[in-house]
Amino acid sequence: MLASILINEVRGILLDASSVAYTAGELLTFLNEALRASSNVKRDFYVKQGTIDLVAGVVQELPSDGLAVIDLIYNNHTGRVCTQCDMELLQEANRFWPADDPQENVENWAANPKNPRRFYVTPPNTGGSGVALMGAYGAVPPEITDPDTDLAVTDDNQPIIVNFMLARAYSKSSKRYDPTKEAFYFGKWGELIGMKSTSQIAIAPRVSESPGK
């Protein structure tokens, strides 16, 4: 879906087809704000799949654009699968797992609910060039600088983006400023984010009953 489709939809609702009240640059700014805000609230709003480089030790971190781990599937450098494990279960099974001998292959990984950008691996990893996991993670969508650019998010997120853009448009300090409409559209955006967040349950990493290898 082209960014221009959303911008034109917003212009139509704002009754500003001639770009009198809102410039193209302003609406692009609102669009990018909508993408960033939505991805921060709904962590599967924009999902990237690819390699995640590993460092030495047990604590690992997503790439700079990553927001939350969705799934880690296998060791990219060897093809060996890895299994997600509940942290409490992992600690119960082996109280000294952070002190295990480092290895290249990750056998188990655990999410960090307090910092979704980080995760833990066992055994401790050696790190090094090319040592990585293949996985999926929620990320910040690429910034849109041209209306003729395709959005990186799926089309079903269009209402979420449009409602946020409308809220920002009505929050602008101008003759169009309307706090009632601003609150209404921000409310609709939040409602849509909340309604769609139930889908996160379906894609959330499964917790294994026992540490697998």
* Three-class secondary structure assignment of the chain: CEHHHHHHHHHHHHCCCCCCCCCHHHHHHHHHHHHHHHHHHCCCCCEEEEEEECCCEEEEECCCCEEEEEEEEEECCCCCECEEECHHHHHHHCCCHHHCCCECCCCEEEECCCCCCEEEEEEEECCCCCCEEEEEEEECCCCCCCCCCECCCCHHHHHHHHHHHHHHHHHCCCCCCCHHHHHHHHHHHHHHHHHHCCHHHHHCCCCECCCCC
What pLDDT is attached to residue 89?
87
Using only C-alpha atoms, what is the Rg of the chain? 21
The per-residue pLDDT string of the chain (213 residues; one tens digit each, 9 = 90 and over) reads 899 999 999 999 999 888 888 999 999 999 999 999 999 999 899 999 999 999 999 999 999 999 999 999 999 999 999 999 998 888 888 899 999 999 999 999 999 888 999 999 999 999 999 999 999 999 999 999 999 999 999 999 999 999 999 999 999 867 778 999 999 999 999 999 985 544 443 444 444 444 444
Angstrom distance (rounded) from CA 65 to CA 49: 12
Q: How many CB atoms lie within 10 A of CB 25?
A: 9
Query: 111, 130, 116, 124: which is closest to 52 by C-alpha?
Result: 130
Q: Which amino acid is at 87?
A: M
What torsion do the CA atoms of 109, 44, 42, 197 make, to the nearest 10 degrees?
-100
pTM, 2 dp: 0.80
